[in-house]
Structure 1
Amino acid sequence: MTSHTTLASPDSYSVAWIAVLPIERAAAEAMLDEEHAPPTGFIRHQSDTNIYTWGRVGEHNIVIVSLAAGVYGTTSAAITASHLLASLRFIRVVLLVGIGGGIARPDEGRDIRLGDIVVSQPDGTTGGVCQYDLIKAKLDGKLEHKGFLRPPPEVLLKALAKIQAYHERKESKVPYFLQQMLERNPKMGKRSKQNSGYAHQGLDNDRLFKASCDHVPGPDCRGCDTADQVQRDPRDTSDPEIHYGIIASGNMLVKDAATRDRIVANVGEDCICFEMEAAGLMNNFPCLVIRGICDYADSHKSDRWQRYASATGAAYAKELLEYVPAAEVQETKRALEVLESGWFLFLSPRVILTNT
């Protein structure tokens, strides 16, 4: 990766890549084809506390930003996004890339495993992300969504269709980008007691347990009852698979199976992942959410797979950008215009309205 390029204007950057954790940002920066110095004439808005990384992926100029260390949730994500738009008014496409908890249901065709990639995709009733803490009970005892979040820009949805068609014929480039990342950044492949590294963590360390099985205290699951382990068909490779569907977003960290399954039942959607920031971003402007799966949102979760999952999500984002024409990005409405145009949520379930 070359560096020290300086573009003539901050307006040359039309794609924002938002991470939450430092490990997610590290993976994002490792995917850059070229790193840039801050562009000439960039003036940070007085309200903007973000610190940016500038660079290029393919034909796209990218700005990378993360939340403040130790800060999570929809509100923090919304603040980061609003600060970004205050300083960078020509951002048109936003990717939210990081880690999430997988909702694995292998018996129902959702064989999601650690290190796999989940991508938010509209299904006709949601924009790809459902805010699970925006649900109300009706008088008849049924649950009803109070609102749905807007789908990603059309240019990204067209890219999703194209990359899915390509993957029907050819293998994903994600494994190649992961290998390239480790070759360029040898430290990312090293492991220690405090750092599991950004390489695959081994099939033996990916165990899915029945919802009724609580984790036996300890750094791993060696003490957990193997009789409660869900038996899954072995895969031919350790390369991550890619899943498209609804991502559940909210401010609560889901880390026990009972809570996980109750939320999924209440949402009433075919959710495949939990995360904590997307709803805050999509309340402000539409984005695509990409998550590497680091746990199963149950009591067995640990930090072991977080770095590798950060890398798989980032590698998919890089591959997806190859299918996003730069010329069409420039024809996409600026994110700030979307925000100012008055999009707002709900009023009626399964309907999104504007006040234009």
Structure 2
Amino acid sequence: MLDEVHQILPLQSTDEYECILGTIGEHSVVIVSVPIGDYDPETPSPLPAWLKFRFHSIQFCIIAGIGSGVPSKEHDVRLGDIVVSEPGHGHNGAREYGLGKTSSLNDHPQRPQLQRLPIDVSAAISAIQTREFIQVEGSPITKFLIMEPASRAAELSQRPSLISDWLYEAEYQHNGEFDTCLSCDRSKLVSRPSRDSYEPWIHLESIAVINRVVKDARVRDRLSENIALCMEMGTAGLSDDFPCLRIRGIADYADTHINEHWQGYAAIVSAAYVKALLLQVSAVQVDSS
């Protein structure tokens, strides 16, 4: 998604993370991979402090990648959709939870929204959502999913067959050794209406940040009661020091039927949304806000 890739910076003795530098539109971009693993929600991440030390001109942060969908009767979240965190009521669009060994959820106090996103970034989010709603010129991100033929990115960007987008009843466990669900009972599938388009839907709502991987649909459904449409792991505290936006492509439903078929596509649609967003935002406006 980078329009230009800059030379990779050599690691310094004080560096804790590797990063890629480049540009998207008018913006200089630093891409940092966040280590995956269990974390303590009470312990702040060292990443914001490192970013401030290493790059003094960062204006805002985007946390992008894959997440688990939290579908409900009110919100038709499906594999390949995009969930964008929506700040409100004094929080930054993320609710943090600790998950105990008994699958009990502990709702941690919401972190205050210390710094708001630049107003033109918020306006760009609204503009993309409006175009999505009235279907002007198709999906605003579809054109960024066309990759160079025969590349790994092109392979990942192919939307998997809808036959693999199965949402089972929360109490029904995966049956079989493989991740294809070929042996699972189709009568346990949740009935959902068909969609008119294969393009991903974009949802604006809260995202739940969990301290470990969830493969329990009952835990997922409890989150739906708190109006979270997506869950992710390992990113608590990253939004304390910068204005922050979370963007997640839905790769699974956080149940025992998890498979890897949708991970590549979900990651790429998340990145495509980032590009569509930044191309609508003027670097001059961000610097002056």
* TM class, shorter-length: 0.7 to 0.9
Distance 1:166 1:256, change over 3 A: same
Q: Which amino acid aligns with 1:157?
A: S
The SS at the match of 2:285 is: helix
Q: Find out whether 1:55 has 2:25 as its counterpart.
A: no
Count matched residues: 277
Out of 237, 241, 261, the residue aligned to residue 280 of structure 1 is: 237
1:221-246 deviations in Å (ceiling 9; x for gaps): 11111111012111122111100100
Task: Work out which of the residue numbers 250, 256, 263 in structure 2 matches 1:293.
Answer: 250
Equivalent of 2:118 in 147, 154, 160: 154
Counterparts of 2:107 and 2:237, CA distance in 1: 20
Shift of 1:303: 1.6
Structure with the greater alpha carbon radius of gyration: 1
Q: How far apart, CA to CA, are the structure 2 residues paired with 1:119 and 1:239?
A: 16
Q: Does 1:92 align with 2:49?
A: no
Q: Which of 254, 272, 286 is equivalent to 2:214? A: 254
State whether residues 59 and 243 of structure 2, in contact with CA within 8 Å, keep that contact through their aligned partners in structure 1. no
Segments of structure 2 that go 5 or more residues without pairing to the other structure are 100-105
> How far apart are 1:328 and its partner, in Å?
1.7
The secondary structure found in structure 2 opposite 1:279 is coil
Distance 1:149 1:172 in 2: 33
Distance in 2, matches of 1:43 and 1:91, equals: 19
Alpha-carbon distance in 2 for matches of 1:162, 1:103: 25
2:98 to 117, 126, 133: 133
Residue matched to 1:3: none
In structure 2, what residue type is equivalent to 1:51?
E
**Which amino acid in structure 2 is aligned with residue 99 of structure 1?**
I
Name the amino acid aligned to 1:200: R
Distance change (3 Å), C-alpha of 1:145 and 1:212: same
Q: Which of these residues, 158, 161, 165, is aligned with residue 206 of structure 1? A: 165
Structure with the bigger percentage of helix = 1
Note the 1:161-200 alignment, pairs <5 A: 161-169=126-134, 170=136, 171-179=138-146, 182-183=147-148, 186-190=151-155, 197-200=156-159
Deviations 1:80-131 (A, max 9, x none): 33222211011111111000000011x22x1111010000002335321111
Structure 1 position 145, deviation (Å) = 5.6
Q: Bigger CA drift: 286-295 or 317-326?
A: 317-326
1:26 matched to which residue of 2?
none
Taking structure 2 as the reference length, the TM-score comes to 0.86
Give the corresponding residue for 2:103.
none
| 1:34 paired to 2:4 | yes
> Aligned partner of 1:308: which letter?
Y
Q: What is the RMSD of the two structures over their aligned residues, measured on CA atoms?
A: 2.5
Distance 2:269 2:185 in 1: 30
Q: What's the secondary structure of 1:133's corresponding residue?
A: strand
Q: Which residue, 270, 280, 287 being the options, matches 1:313?
A: 270
TM score, norm. by length of structure 1: 0.71
Contact in 2 for aligned 1:74/1:250 (Cα 8 Å): no
Structure 1: distance between partners of 2:97 and 2:107:
11
Structure 1 spans left out of the alignment, 5+ residues: 1-30, 135-142, 191-196, 333-356
Q: Please give the secondary structure, in 2, of the residue aligned with 1:313.
A: helix
2:168 maps to amino acid: F
The farther-off stretch of 157-166 and 217-226 is: 157-166
Cα deviation code 1:206-225 (max 9, x no counterpart): 01111111111322111111
Secondary structure of the corresponding residue to residue 281 of structure 1? coil
Closer/same/farther in 2, CA of residues 198 and 161 from structure 1, 3 Å limit: closer
Using the alignment, how far apart are the partners of 1:77 and 1:321 within structure 2?
28
Q: 1:309 to 1:144 in 2, by over 3 A?
A: closer
Q: For 1:145-197, what per-residue CA distance to the aligned partner results, in whole angstroms no more than 9, with x for missing partners?
A: 62334264133223212322333341223111001xx226623334xxxxxx3
The alignment-based identity, stated in percent, is 36
Q: Return the offset for 1:74.
A: 6.8
SS in 1 for 2:166: coil
